[in-house]
Structure 1
């Protein structure tokens, strides 16, 4: 199964913030949207980073509550690992496991077309395994 199939199922909504947003604003957005990461865009709408719950916790633990007034541009992950819609779920799961990341922005050319989490991908893998098991049971029962 491809990442494009996952995006069709979950939708292509991506929650974003500019690098100038504060950690406080990011925390509020993460909470309001019930997501674990936000994509950070520059003034032209290009991907420049990802800000996750881990980034927030790390900054607050390191600097205390004063960190909440800092800009997310200073705390975000800059070397963003991305996916393409034509990649397989297995390829992306492997990349996420190897790199110890939970979110992959999905890019087509220079355009951001979605984001997938490790939870999204595991959910699809489980659904595929369950469908395969059901098909196998139906086959065995018919013969």
Structure 2
């Protein structure tokens, strides 16, 4: 199967469309507790109904834990990624993988115009690639080992 024909929409269709949010005025501990509770690696950050950033597990490690900031006093707005990357729902799996790999990004918000549709993680992308490879291997195995009845 050609990776150029598989869009991110197919990944979103197979997973929960839930995207979790925190306010930019929330504390880091609030965001981390939400991420732990929901077993997710990132949350979108909003302010006045606008997306102002993304807060990820990498932000926790690099911007909170490493400098030893107080998670109960530090605001998400102080440590979030402000200039976050996002993708359009029409992008292909191959294009998305390229963006994630090139920019070392693990979580990408997926938009259709200005509407947030979901979040795609590197795990989602690799699971889809594994599924595609497994399906191709099964098809090839079936082709090679099915007895010819002609």
Query: What's the TM-score, normalizing by structure 1?
Result: 0.93
**What is the distance in 2 between the residues matched to 1:101 and 1:66?**
25
Q: Which runs of 5+ in 2 are unaligned?
A: 1-5
**What is the distance in 1 between the residues matched to 2:48 and 2:28?**
18
Which residue in the other structure is 1:101 paired with? 105
1:46-74 deviation line (CA, Å, top 9, x unaligned): 22111011111222221x25243111011
Aligned: 1:123 with 2:127:
yes
Residue of 93, 98, 107 corresponding to 1:89: 93
Residue of 46, 60, 63 corresponding to 1:56: 60
Aligned: 1:69 with 2:87:
no
Which residue in the other structure is 2:30 paired with? 25
**Aligned-residue RMSD, C-alpha:** 1.2
Bigger Rg over Cα: 2
Which residue in the other structure is 1:136 paired with? 140
Which residue in the other structure is 1:9 paired with? 14
Q: Which has the higher helix share?
A: 1
Q: Which runs of 5+ in 1 are unaligned?
A: none
Which residue in the other structure is 1:80 paired with? 84
**What is the distance in 2 between the residues matched to 1:126 and 1:75?**
34
Count of aligned residue pairs for this structure pair: 141
Query: What's the TM-score, normalizing by structure 2?
Result: 0.89
